[in-house]
Amino acid sequence: MTAPALDFLPGDRVLSQWQGGHHWFPGVVHSVAGNGVAIQYDDGTSEIRPANQVRHCDWAVGTRIHAFWAADQRWYDATITQIEPHGPHLTIRYDDGTVEQTLASRCRCL
């Protein structure tokens, strides 16, 4: 569910649709003006998105995500098994059973 821009504050953890695409990427609200939410994504990129393309980050243990596997440069389905408090690391289990510690910047959701 999306929220109006006034529901976001600088520093909030959010998921946003990078360039209006279908995938939701993690980041932090930098600022809010009108209906625009300025986001600093975990991978270092930034942009301003309309509020209807931003939602509060709801990732928790058990959340289904896509994670980037560097060995073959592809995205795979996985489940979050542990989240580092106030940090960028997640432990995930890919659907094939492989367990990996990764960065939130290497994950997305639909």
The pLDDT tens digits of the residues spanning 61-81 come to 999 999 999 899 999 999 999
Please name which of 45, 38, 14, 37 lies closest in space to residue 27, comparing C-alpha atoms. Answer: 14
Q: What percent of the chain has pLDDT over 90?
A: 86
pTM recorded for the entire structure: 0.87
Instruction: Tell me what the pLDDT averaged over the chain comes to.
Output: 92
Please name which of 43, 32, 40 lies closest in space to residue 3, comparing C-alpha atoms. Answer: 32
Q: Are residues 51 and 89 in the same domain?
A: no
Say whether pLDDT at 3 is over 90. Answer: no
Q: Are residues 10 and 52 in the same domain?
A: yes
Say whether pLDDT at 4 is over 80. Answer: no
Q: Are residues 52 and 68 in the same domain?
A: no
Say whether pLDDT at 2 is over 60. Answer: no
Domain that residue 28 falls in: 5-56
Domains in the chain: how many in total?
Answer: 2
**Mean pLDDT, range 9-38, rounded to an integer:** 95
Farthest CA pair distance, the chain = 45
